Homo-oligomer: A and B are copies of this chain.
Amino acid sequence: MTPTIADTIDQLTRDITPPSEAWRSKARARLDTLTKPLGSLGRLEDLAAQVVAIREGRLASPSGPIGKSVYVFAADHGITAEGVSAYPREVTHQMVLNFLAQGAAVNVLARLHGVELHVVDVGVDADFRGVAGLHHHKVANGTRNMLREEAMDDGQLEQALGVGATLAAEAGAAGQSLVAIGEMGIGNTTSASVITCALTGAPPELATGRGTGLDSAAHQRKIGVVRDVLVKHSLDLSRPLQPLEILCRVGGLEIAAMTGMVLAASSHKLAVVVDGFISTAAAALAVAIEPKALGYLIAGHRSQEPGHALLLEHLNLIPVLALDMRLGEGTGAVLAISIVESAICLYTQMATFTSAGVSEASE
């Protein structure tokens, strides 16, 4: 790693502290005064306490009970040359246009749940010059083929990390409390599978799924590609974990941007709702870089991709939802935000036993 990337990482991580335990206790104490049996809101109480601890009590935003945005980072992947996806590479480009035309799943969900949607080009292999409604942060026209060479160079990695970091800082400045990370990138489950193997030591056949819908033969081929990429880049647990090297060699530009967003969001005390397999791979790399970021993460859902469960277990995160989704785009995270926002509204709006004149439980 070059000195400049070490500086970038230092800058991204040096202000990260764990969420406030004092605020978490305060939140717990308030939850116990609300008109409900103690603890009866289950996970919603944990989520409310976590967000209060992260935000140190600052919850409301001008746009509602809690400010919330989803970022969909889009990029292409050189590994698509190996036939690892059921969909052609140009679908990344086409889906970005679909996001901008409000036609994709994440558009529908963000609109319904009042979540601000940001579409970010970090590395789509298409010319978006002059296209409105898009965050223009293209680092390259996709990564290189990681089966043959490093997916990106240090400069690209630094730039991609910075894209996510900048957007997180902007979200913080705009009074958001929650940011959700999602992605679009044909070929990126292959990258996430390699990252999962590198971080957890899982064998490729357990960490590699069917992505957007491979048949059995193509699935076997994809497992072989994951195995070969691991060998090519000597990514095994026999030597100390180097998350930046992993990112550089086998990551994606959207994955690096999400890693940057997680680190910067933690530093700006924003809760991060993580979407599916690829987003969780990015979040796991962020935690490998700075373990204190873990307290800022909320696992939105558990996807059908087998590697996702491995990563969630590795991070010791229990997902809010488990609906057998495997779409990406931040869809699971946006659905989870509706649950997290519910938790926050219960926390801020419910009556207390005293205010409502309701009798408490006997000892």
Contact = CB atoms under 8 A, between A and B. Distances in A.
Interface of A: 34-44, 65, 86-88, 90-91, 94-95, 97-98, 101, 103-105, 107-109, 111-113, 211-213, 304, 320-327, 331, 335, 338-339, 341-342, 345-346, 349-351, 355-362
B320 A358 contact: no
A106 to B, nearest CB: 10
Nearest to A65: B112
A326 to B, nearest CB: 5
A38 B326 CA distance: 10
Given A86-B362, A351-B101, A359-B91, A42 B325 contact: yes
Contact of A86 (B88, B212, B361): B361
Nearest to A335: B342
Nearest to A327: B40
11 contacts: A37-B211, A41-B327, A43-B323, A94-B356, A94-B358, A97-B356, A103-B356, A111-B349, A212-B361, A323-B339, A338-B342
Contacts of A65: 112
Contacts of A95: 35, 358
Contact of A326 (B40, B90, B111): B40
A103 B361 contact: no
Given A91-B358, A91-B359, A338-B338, 19 more contacts: A35-B103, A37-B213, A37-B327, A38-B213, A40-B212, A41-B105, A44-B325, A65-B112, A86-B361, A87-B359, A88-B359, A94-B356, A94-B358, A103-B355, A108-B350, A111-B349, A112-B342, A113-B338, A323-B339
B361 A101 contact: no
**How many copies of the chain does the oligomer comprise?**
2
A209 B351 CA distance: 26
Contacts of A113: 338, 342
Nearest to A83: B362
B341 A112 contact: yes
Contacts of A108: 342, 345-346, 349-350
Nearest to A325: B42
Nearest to A39: B213
B325 A101 contact: no
Nearest to A94: B358
Contacts of A304: 42
Contacts of A339: 321, 323, 335, 338
Nearest to A91: B359
A283 to B, nearest CB: 21
Contacts of A43: 323-325
Contact of A35 (B39, B104, B211, B320): B104
Contacts of A361: 86-87, 212-213
A341 to B, nearest CB: 7
Given A108-B346, A342-B338, A359 B103 contact: no
A351 B331 CA distance: 15
B104 A37 contact: no
